[in-house]
Chains A and B, each alone.
Chain A
Amino acid sequence: MIDWFSGNEGYIQGALVAALLAASVQVALRAGVLSFASVGFYGVGAYGTGYLTATQGWGTAPAATVVVIITMVLSWLLALVLARLRALYLAMATIAFVLLVQIGALAWDSVTGGPLGLFGIPPALGTGGVALILAGVLAVNALTQRGAVGRRLLLLRKDEALASALGVNVRHQHQIAFVWSAVLGSLAGISQASLLTVFTPENLGFSVMVSALTALVVGGTWHWSGPLIGGVVFSWFLSAYLGFASDYRGVVEGALTVVVLVFLPKGLAGLFELLDPGRLRRAAAGPTGGPGGVSAGVPGGASTGQDRPVPAQEMGVSS
């Protein structure tokens, strides 16, 4: 058992951090916000803790606390700036933020160590500490998927105009989701820096974003367990059996992603729903808006209003 653990510890650590990062993307997405800012805050978390501990000699706990608070302030301000942007424009803007953090990591030598990065970050958290952080995060995400909050999130994700017409302050909810997402990204960075004890601009590459997204899509974008499943499959199993740098790895990852997207649109976590005799299966039972034997006796040839996509004028939300 102990041999097995030490043989796999590196993979397990990779899976934990990947799951945290995937969860960060997920909590924004489940409120209807497509954001890649997670990776930027991952950088903020890693460099922030690295600087405060390795360079300034702080303890890991106070450093992590200060970094999380900075993350909250920064993400709240960013959310205010980005509040006017929707959907893909917002996604693009968050990618710009990631690029900015990457450039900052290279250029701001005195804090980030430039291209060489930061060394000697204390390994205070360890695998167990990071696992505990992840467990706490997943518990919060699982709880907020139930009850009134869970219903609100589903409503936000499926129909924003309806959500606002039912009393949901859409902009405010998006900001809360964005900040929570940033905090999770930052926690992933704090964890990674502490596990690696080294953090360089290479740890903050484009590939980090891609792996987080693929892990989330394969694991499942809605269910709270999706990031964990995706993290385990991608950063543990694939790495353990294919090796970190295998030539085949990209091919296997790509193929797996396509297979899951085609056959399991809700990700591997969607498999649970197939086994769950509860309401989700019932709720997925019928097609949308089945008209029950409606006669179309409408004078003036008017549209009957059923089974049709929502007209543009009903979608337009002013704010």
Chain B
Amino acid sequence: MTAVLELRDIKVRFGGVKAVDGVSLALEPGHLHALVGPNGSGKTTVVNTMSRLVTPTDGQVFLGGQDVTAAGPHEVYRRGLARTFQGIRLVEGLTVRENVLLGVQELPTARSRAGRRRAAEAADEALERMDVHHVAQVAPAALPYGVQRRVEIARAVAGAPKILLLDEPVAGMSAGERQEISAVLGRLRDDGMTMLLIEHDLRFVLGLSDHLFVLNFGQLLAAGDPAATAALPAVQEAFLGRKHVPA
């Protein structure tokens, strides 16, 4: 199997901080991968590197076999890499539906009149799939946190991406909301979406993911089958022994 997305020996330095220190990993088509690690271990920086918001100090990013290390974030988005952010990033002043339209309107397929109509249909479909169609005309700021998160995921999947990166989508959620999001992710996986789920809570991803990456101090500590990887002493120590990484 060829990887849909691949990082080769990625290093990202911010001044003196080695946020990511030589990470290589590959995402397999149709799998739900989880990337876990304590706070500050470099998870967000890995996602930012993949989505090209951060340029690595060293190393390469491959999307569908092509080197995109020098490409812009808008280019990888148009080539099928979508993401959500750790904090909710919905645009105030737009309704829920208009926010989801933002996910389809910049795609090359939405240029023609017919393309624009299909894009709007795709947005409405995504609203239904994420079960937020009943709030389509509402201002997102007025909605509960869990619903806002589903609107963001609807925006990310509306353009039918090949890869979806989710940066801590359930952080700060109630048990019920977490359950809803994990059901949503399960449905997306059943549809064949390649995903990378970032999470700092190892337990949440165990029953959900096909493949686990563990990050610590900017380095891959372990990778492989979720249950087996989580049971490794080094992983247990990273999660239970030391909670915080000195910056």
* Smallest Cβ-Cβ distance to B90: which chain A residue: A289
User: CB distance A152 to B105 under 8 Å?
Assistant: yes
Q: Is B48 an interface residue (CB 8 A)?
A: yes
Contact between B172 and A291 (Cβ–Cβ < 8 Å)?
A: yes
Task: Tell me if B182 counts as interface (CB < 8 A to partner A).
Answer: no
Instruction: Determine the interface band of chain A, counting residues with CB < 8 A from chain B.
Output: 35 or more
Query: Are the C-beta atoms of B144 and A292 separated by less than 8 Å?
Result: yes
A286 and B142 contact, Cβ closer than 8 Å, known pairs A158-B92, A162-B89, A313-B48: yes
Contact check, A151 vs B72: say whether CB atoms are below 8 A apart.
Answer: no
Q: Are B94 and A151 touching (Cβ within 8 A)? A: yes
| Interface of chain B, main secondary structure | loop
Complex interface residues of chain A between 255 and 297 (CB less than 8 A to chain B): 279-280, 282-297
The complex places the Cα of A208 from the Cα of B33 at a distance, in Å, of 58
With A152-B106, A165-B73, A305-B172 as given contacts, are A282 and B139 in contact (CB-CB < 8 Å)? yes
Q: Tell me if B77 is interfacial: C-beta within 8 Å of chain A.
A: yes
Q: Which residue in B77, B86, B91 is a CB contact (below 8 Å) of A158?
A: B91
Known: A148-B105, A285-B139. A304 touches B95 (CB 8 A): no
Q: Is the interface of A mostly helix, strand, loop or mixed?
A: loop
Q: Is B39 an interface residue (CB 8 A)?
A: yes
Given known pairs A165-B77, A291-B145, the reply for A151 and B171 (CB within 8 Å) is no
Q: Which residues of A contact B (CB under 8 A)?
A: 148, 151-152, 154-155, 158-159, 161-162, 164-170, 279-280, 282-306, 308-311, 313-314, 316-319
Q: A151-B98, A314-B53 are in contact. Are A300 and B105 (CB under 8 A)?
A: no
Chain A CB within 8 A of B63 CB: no
Residue in chain A with minimal CB distance to B169? A305
Question: Within the complex, which residue of B53, B110, B177, B239 is in contact with A316, where a contact is CB–CB below 8 Å?
Answer: B53
B141-A289 in contact (CB<8A)? yes
B77 to chain A: closest residue by CB:
A167
Residues of A within 8 A of B147 (CB): 292
Report whether B145 and A289 are in contact in the complex, using a CB–CB cutoff of 8 Å.
yes
Residues of A contacting B171 with CB < 8 Å?
298, 302-305
The answer on a CB contact under 8 Å between A300 and B91 is no
